[in-house]
Amino acid sequence: MKQRIGAWGLRLTRWKTDGRPPEVRRYVAIAAPHTTNWDLLYLLLHAWYHDMPISWLGKDTLFRWPAGPVLRALGGVPVERDSKSGLVRSLTDRFHAAAADDRRFVLVIPPEGTRRARAYWKSGFYEIARAADVPIVCIYLDYERRVGGFGPTVEVTGDVDADLTTIRDFVTGVRGKHPEMASTVAFRPRDAADAPD
């Protein structure tokens, strides 16, 4: 049923898909650039079209009544912005539990952490992928072409600069709904230094 809703929704909104989900069963998917609340709707339509169950992070204020139960049912995980270390730990535990049960687990994270332009990305997605020993998959919504799809799969090496270069090279060619609000693909120097060994 979700696949039908996804296909119908994409046709109705005149969006197309590009590529297929990667074969790997567990990964962190980074959705960038994130410049509008509409990103969530199109993300869900594409995920349903591909029959790809996802969990996604959103700020905790989105999960207040009455929207909260609906967003959780759609895979939403509320985030308190001041609890980064606890969040990384709890999400890493989810990956480990999924691996122990050989379950599929795809966690979608907007690395900017906001829809406004920022000088840096948040490094949490990288820390989670490295701690959970899962790859990072670039997914995208290009509003100029009205295409959503999959970019490179990045195996986390611990060489932050090299890994971010691969991601940056891909994201640079994607236009969000508000391109002027796209953030710089870089970590704060202390975030890069704090990434797990």
* pLDDT tens sequence across 64-79: 889 999 999 999 998 8
Query: What was the pLDDT predicted at 119?
Result: 85
Q: What is the pLDDT of residue 193?
A: 46
Q: Are 110 and 176 in contact (CB under 8 A)?
A: no
Domain CATH code at residue 7:
3.40.50
Contact 30, 49 (CB under 8 A): no
Position 60 scores a pLDDT of 86
CA distances to 19, 42, 133, 174 from 147, rounded to whole Å, are: 10, 10, 30, 10
Instruction: Give the pLDDT confidence score for residue 196 in this predicted structure.
Output: 46
Per the structure, the complete domain to which residue 141 belongs is given by 2-194
CA dihedral defined by 147, 149, 155, 159, rounded to 10 degrees?
Answer: 20
- Structurally, the chain folds into a number of domains equal to 1
Query: Whole-prediction pTM value?
Result: 0.89
What confidence tens digit (pLDDT) does each residue in 166-179 have? 999 999 889 999 99
Q: What is the pLDDT of residue 184?
A: 87
Which residues are CB-neighbours of 30 under 8 A, at least 6 positions away?
A: 108, 109, 110, 111, 125, 136, 137, 138, 139, 167
Q: Which residues of the chain have pLDDT under 70?
A: 81-85, 190-197
